[in-house]
Structure 1
Amino acid sequence: MKRVVITGMGALTPIGNNLNDYWTNLKAGVSGAGEITRFDTSKFKTHFACELKDFNLEDHIPRSESRKYDRFTSYALVAVEEAVKHAGINFEELNRNKIGVIWGSGNGGIETFTEEMIDYAKRDENPRFNPFFIPKIIADIASGVISMKYGLRGINFTCISACATGTTAIIDAFNYIRWGKANMIITGGSEAPITAAGLGGFNASRALSTNNEEAATASRPFDKTRDGFVMGEGAGALVLESYEHAMARGANIIAEVAGGGMAADAYHLTGTHPEGEGAVLGMHEALEDAEIKAEDIDYINLHATSTPVGDQSELVAMQRVFGDTPRVKASATKSMTGHLLGAAGAIEAIASIKAIEEGIIPPTINTKEVDEEWAGKFDLTLGKAQKHDIRYAMSNTFGFGGHIATAIFKRFE
C-alpha cells in the first residue's frame, strides 16, 4: 500500500486562531477557558467554556456567503484555507478528480437548529424557516462546501463517531489514499457546540464541569478534584496525500501517518468501559497497523477530558497496553483547549504532529494532585512543556456510544 504523508495543517482553536498561535500557546500552557459571552448562562449550572477569542468571521468569509452556513461549516472553511496555503497547493495544476474531502463533526449545525426552533416556538401561528435551514444543520454539508470551494471531485463524505470523529476522519483519509483511491484528501473536523442546547444537554448528562469559581483551571485531567469536561469550539484541518504525489509536486512533507485503529467499548451509552476494553483494542489495532510495538511510541496525546470516569478508564487502558512503568511520555492538551468534541481529534492530531516536528511535548496544565493509584506511574508532562525526541506519536479519542479511534504519526524519514 502507498505511504501517506501530511503536507499542510490549519487550526482554529480557543487558544489560537491559526496554526502558529495554537502551537505557541500549547507550548506555553495557556488556558482557553472563560465566561461564555455568546448567550446568557445564568439559568445553567455551567457558565464557562473555551470559546474562540478575537475572531471575526467576516475577516475570512463575506457575510453574503457565511449566512448560508452554520458556524461549524464556517470554522471548517477557515481552518482548511490555512491548511491549503500551508501545503502550498495550486489545485489548477492537479487532478481534482483524485482529490477528496473527508470531514467530521459530532453535532453539525446545532446552533442553527436551536435558533430556528426557538423562533418557531415564538411564531407557532405563522411558522417561518430559513431557506438554508436544512443545509445549515446537516453534518455532511461542511465536506460538500469545502469541495465546492476548491473544485474537488474525489471521495467526499462526513463521518460521525462523537468525540472520536476527528480521528476517525483522519484514519479514513489515510486508508483511502494508501488504497490508491485518492491522491490527496483534505481531512479534519469542526464543531460549534457552545449553545444553550449544547450547554444544557451536557449539563443534564452530568458531563460538564460546574466549577464556575475556577473556570480557567476547571479542565484538570487526572486531578483528584476534576468534575467534568470544559466545552470548546473550533476546527482542525490536515492535508494528507500519497508520498509519490507529494514528491511529484515538490511539497514540504511535515510528517507521515503510520497507522490507525478503530474499535468500540460496546458497554454504555455515554460512559467508557472501566477496564478500557475498547481503548486497549483501538491502541493495539493502531500499533499493529503501524507495524510497531508499544515501546516504540515516544508520546501519547491522551483523550483525557477531565471527567472522573473517563480519565480513570484511559489510564487503566494505558497500563494494559504500555505496562506498569512505561517510559512513554503523555499529555492532555484538553486542559488548555477544552473539549472540541468532533473536532478534538483533528486539533490533537495537529498537536501530536507538531510535537514530532519540533521535539517538544505540550504540557498538561491545571493538574495539581493526581489520584494516588496513578501518581508516579505515568509521565503526564505536568505544568510545563518538555523537550523530547519523538519518532512516533499516538493520539487517542473516545466518544459517546463507545466509539474508539487511535491514530499514530511518525517523523518523516
Structure 2
Amino acid sequence: MNQASFNHSLLSFLDDSPTPFHAVSTMKCELLAAGYEELVEQQEWVISEGGKYFVTRNDSSVIAFTTPTLDFAHQGFRMIGAHTDSPCLKLKPNAHVERFGYHQLGVEVYGGVLLHTWLDRDLSIAGRVTFKAEDGSLKSRLVDFKDPIALVPNLAIHLSRGVNTDGFKVNPQEEILPILCGAEHTLDLEKLLIEQIQSEYDDISVSSILSFELSLYDVQKAAITGLHGDYISAARLDNLLSCYVGIQALLNTDASRPTLLICTDHEEVGSQSSCGANGPFLEDVLRRLSPVPEQYTQAIQQSMLISADNAHALHPNYATKHDQLHAPLINQGAVIKVNNNQRYATNSETAAVYKDIANELGLPAQTFVVRSDMGCGSTIGPITSGEIGVATLDIGLPTFAMHSIRELAGSVDAFNLYKILVAFAKRDQLISA
C-alpha cells in the first residue's frame, strides 16, 4: 500500500461513516473481508491459536484482535485505541417542529461542537432506527438519507450588524434548528423513516417506528486539498482518522504477538457508557480471553496501548494559543501528547517506545503540551489506563479546526502513523527491567 491508495481509501471510509453506527458497520465489512470471525457477546467463545476475531457492542463500538499465540500471560497485547464518535447535532425524540411557516427539526448538541460552522451547510440525516416489523418482531437498522435534505441558514448581516465586531453566539435551543421544507408541504417524520428503511432494506416491512438515534451531517465529500495536495479536508476526522489508521495497521500486520484494536463510542461526552472507554467493554473482552485472574494481570502488564486521537496543530493565525516549544506542525509527524496532570496517559517509557520505533523507520515525531495557562482536553488514554492498568501512550495527528463541521489534517501524517503502528504491532521489546 502506498500513500496515494491509503488516502484514497481513507476518503471513502470517511464518506461512508456519517455516524458511529456506520463507522462500525464499515469496519465490520473490512474485517469480514479480511477473514476475521465475528464473535457474539451473548454466546460462548471458542478462540483458537492463529485466529482473527472481532466483537461489536451497541453497533457503535468494536474490538478486533489476532491470536497468533494464546499465551497472553507472557506475550500480552499490542493495543491501538480510538473512538468512533464526533461532535454533531442529534435529533431529539420528538424532533418535528412546525413554526412560522416551516417544518424544522429539534436537535441536541452532542459534544463540544463549533456550532457556527454548522450554518449554511447542506445537511443530511443518518443513524439507527428501532421499529416494530410487520411480523411483530422488534428490529434495528441503520439508515442514511445521503441527499441534502436540511439546512440551518445564517441570519443576514443586515439584521445582525455587530456580528463581525461583537462576536457571534448561537443559541442551540432557538437558533440551530434545521429547516426541512415549507409548511405548505405535509411532513410525517415516522412515515419518512419507514419509507427510508424500506428503500434501503427490501426484505423488511415496517409496522411502526419506536425509537431512533439520528444525527445530522454535512454531505460535502472528504477531499485532498491544498496547492500541493498537502491536506485532508473532511468531517469527523476527530476521530475516524485514527479509527481508519488503526484498522489498516491491524489488517496489514503479521505480528507474532496478539494485536488488538479498540474503537469505542461516546468519547466526546466522557466515555461513560456500556460501550465507551469508561465502561466495561474492553475489560470484558480481555477477561474472556484470559479468565484466570493471575494470568490476566500478567497479560495486562505485558501489554501496551497506543491511544490515537487528534492533536491541535499550531494555527498560524492563532500562534499564541500554543506553547511555542510544543507546537506541532501538520505533516511533520504524529504528536506525542504529554500532560503531567494525567489528562494524557503518556509517560517517559511509553513515549520512548514510540520514539524508538519512529527513529528506526526514519519518521518524525512531535510533542504537544498545552499552555500552562490553558485547560487541557483528554482522551480514552487515561480512562483505559486507569480502568485496566495498561501502560499507555497518547498520540494524535495534528489537526486544524477540531470539532468544526469540517476539519483539516495532513495527507502525509496518517500514512506515516500507519507505518509506525504496523511496526508497533510487531514490536517484541518494550522497556527492559
Task: Output the TM-score relative to the length of structure 2.
Answer: 0.30
More strand per residue: 1 or 2?
Answer: 2
Structure having the higher Rg: 2
More helix per residue: 1 or 2?
Answer: 1
